[in-house]
Amino acid sequence: MALLRISPPTALPTSCQLAGDLSRWIKDAGNLPAAQALLPALDAAQVEARERILEIELACQDGVDPDLVDRFRGWISVPSDPTAPSPKPGREAAAGPVPARLRLREHPLAEPPVSRAGAARAPVLAVLLGRPPDETARATVERLAEDRPVIILAVPAGAPWAAELSSALQPLVWSAEQVDAAALPAKSLVDRFHTPPWDATVDLLRAYVVAGASESVASVFGMALEQELRALKAKRMLAQQKAAKLQQVRPGPAGAGETVSEIRSLIQRQLGEFERGAVDRLAAQLTAPSGAIWAEVDAAVAGLSFLDEEKRAKTRALGVPKAFEDDLLRILREKISAHCIGDLVALKDLYRIVSAEVDRVLDAAGGPPSSFSLATCPTRSSSACSREASRSSGATRASCPGPASSNTS
C-alpha cells in the first residue's frame, strides 16, 4: 500500500478523495450487499464535511446536578457573545456561524451508543463527572476516549482522582483538557473553534470523521472481498475437478457400445428380478386356497348365516345378500390396494438402486451422471384399477327346485 503524505491543509480534501474512491470501488465490485449497504453512511460523512458540521459527543455521569449539566451543555454549544444567536438546549443542537457548525449528541455515561459499521465517531468527546467513577465507568470513559482527537473532562475542582484520570487519558487521545465543572472557562467551546488557533483544527477534525467512516467501510469491504475470494476459489476447485473428469479419455465407439450394453443388461436384470418378486408376492395373496386374501374370503363366506331367497313359480332363487357382497368387495379392494402400494414403494427403491448402479457404470466410463424418476400414478386411476380388479365377475345367485305343488282342483 502506498504511503500518503498529508499536511493539515490537505487532510480534508485527501480524505474526501479517498472516500470517493472507496465508494467507486465498492460500486464497481458488483454484488457485495454487505459493503454497498454502508455507502449511505460514507456519503453522509462526506456531506457533513462539506457543510462544515462538527459533531461533539457529550457523556454525563448519572446523578450529576441537572443545572450543572445544562451549564456544561450550554458552554459547549452556545457562543459566549450574548448578541449571537444561540440554539435551544436539548439532546441535539446545532450552533455557531460559519466556518463551523457544532452538533451536540448527548447520552448517559452508563449507556454509550452502539458503534455502527460505516459511521465514524465524533471527533470531540466531552465527559461530565460529579464523583469518582467506578471500574465500569472508568473503563467506559477510556473506551470512549480511545483514538479521539479532542477530549474535554469536566470534573469537580481539586479532586485528586480527576488528575489521575486525566493523566491516564493522555496517551489515548490527541489532546486532553480538564476543566472545572462548577467554574467553566469564560470562552465557550464553540468560540474556541471560531478563533485561532483552534479554528485551524476544524478541517483536521472533519478529516478525522471522513477517515474514520472510510476505515470502517473499508474493513467491511475487505471482509466482503475475502468472502467472495473464498467463494471463487471453491468454484474454481469444483470447475477444475469437473474439467479433469471431462478431460479423461473417453471411450471410443466400441467402448460406448459396451457401456450401453452393460447398462441395458443391468436394467433388464433388475427389472426382471422385481417382476418375478411382484408376481410371487401377488400369488401368495391370491392363490387358492393358501393365499392370505383367499383365506379371508373363505372365513367371511363361512360366517354367512343366511341367503337371500326369492320364490318363483317352480323354483327358488338363492343369492348372497347385497350388503355382504359389498363388504366383501370392499375388503378385497383394500387388500389389493395395500398390496399395490407396497409394490410401488418397492419400485421407487428399485429406481434408486438402478440409478446408483448406472451412475457407477457411467462414472467408470467417464460419462455424465444420470437420473431416474418414477412417474406418479393419479389416485383416480389407481382407485379405478383397484375397483376393476375386485369387481365380482361370477354369479352370486342360483336356482333350486321349489317344494312339490299339489294338483288338486
Residue 374 confidence (pLDDT): 55
331: nearest Cα among 285, 373, 368: 285
* pLDDT score of 363 more than 50: yes
- Between CA 41 and CA 120 the distance in angstroms is 9
Asked if 45 and 19 count as a contact pair (C-beta separation under 8 A), the reply is yes
* pLDDT score of 115 more than 80: no
C-alpha cell at 56: 461533539
- Between CA 111 and CA 144 the distance in angstroms is 11
Asked if 214 and 220 count as a contact pair (C-beta separation under 8 A), the reply is no
Mean pLDDT of all residues belonging to the chain: 76
Higher-pLDDT residue of 328 and 96 is 328
The HSE-up count of residue 168 (CA atoms within 13 Å, CB side) is 12
Within a 10 A sphere around the Cβ of 389, how many other Cβ atoms?
13
Whole-angstrom distance between the N-terminal and C-terminal Cα of the chain? 134
| 153 bridge partner residues | 127, 178
- Looking at 3.30.420, 1.10.3470, 1.10.760, 3.40.50, the CATH number of the domain 11-225 comes to 3.40.50
pLDDT digits (tens, 9 = 90+) for 50-89: 777 788 888 998 888 888 888 888 888 765 444 444 444 3
pLDDT digits (tens, 9 = 90+) for 281-340: 877 777 777 777 777 777 777 777 777 777 877 788 878 788 888 888 888 888 888 888
pLDDT digits (tens, 9 = 90+) for 194-211: 777 777 778 788 888 888
- Between CA 20 and CA 45 the distance in angstroms is 11
| Model confidence band, residue 246 (pLDDT cutoffs 50, 70, 90) | low
Residue 211 confidence (pLDDT): 81
| Model confidence band, residue 176 (pLDDT cutoffs 50, 70, 90) | confident
Amino acid at 250: R
Residue 196 confidence (pLDDT): 78
Strands 124-128 and 150-155: parallel
What would the 3-class secondary structure string for 287-343 be? CCCCCHHHHHHHHHHHCCCCCEEEECCCEEEEECCHHHHHHHHHHHHHHHHHHHHHH
127: nearest Cα among 184, 89, 178, 85: 178
Asked if 397 and 319 count as a contact pair (C-beta separation under 8 A), the reply is yes
